Amino acid sequence: MRLDKFLCKSTELTRAAATECIELGAVSVNEQTITESRFQVHENNSVVWQGERLVARPSRYIMLHKPLNTLSSNVDGDYPSLFHCIDIERAEDLHIVGRLDADTSGLVLLTDDGRWSFEIIRPEKQCPKTYRVTLRDPIDDDVAAKFLAGVQLQNESQLTAPAQLKLVTKNEVLLTITEGRYHQVKRMFAAVGNRVNGLHREQIGSLTLDVELGLWRYLTPQEVADFL
């Protein structure tokens, strides 16, 4: 963890104030003064500020049911930030693990544990994500086989990784992918001549969305561990 972030997680300092303290030489790690905010702190390090050894608050892991027309961002833009749905202290310390477009609803994970989120989003992990997709046109019978083999997205040279398609109705499917390319689901269906009219993420890894629209809950220790 970065030293400035560690200070924020173990004190009431803002990120700017933590950075200032570090640059002024007021923080030591293992009895060595550190003036670089990006310095990496490990679990067994002794971090001291104002004569006191600091202990970071426990990390938080949250499932949120993102509504439509909200942004996967810490700040408002053309639409309000999804952080308006989360009523906890120091929500600004959280970051989003795998963003959704404004016009997409469903499961979003948030945490202040950067190592945990990296384990989910790094490409080598191939963490599956399942979407319920509503389509403009009835789906062709050969699309499942095409997605399993990989399709060519516009302006990309590499085929998509194998994806699983399950038919719900002729205009609604469940799609499971293991990548996170830009607008990937929409572009996959565009590649086979269809259009996504509605998109909702139901599952990430073994975690299935189980809270009502706009609400959230903390993950259990076992749910957190399942991603490691």
In contact, 4 and 18? CB cutoff 8 Å: yes
Nearest-angstrom CA–CA distance, 7 and 37 = 10
Residue for token pair 């629209």 = 213
Nearest-angstrom CA–CA distance, 224 and 145 = 33
> Which tokens belong to 49?
């500020």
- Contacts of residue 185, defined as CB under 8 A and 6 or more positions apart, other chains included, come to 131, 133, 175, 177, 196, 199
Provide the β-strand partners of residue 40: 2
In contact, 196 and 135? CB cutoff 8 Å: yes
- Cα three-residue angle 154-158-164, rounded to 5 degrees: 90
- Contacts of residue 56, defined as CB under 8 A and 6 or more positions apart, other chains included, come to 1, 6, 9, 10
Catalytic residue, chosen from 4, 76, 93, 101, is 101
Provide the β-strand partners of residue 107: 65
- 140 an active-site residue? no
The 3-state DSSP class for residue 84 equals: helix
In contact, 27 and 33? CB cutoff 8 Å: yes
Which residues carry out catalysis?
Answer: 101
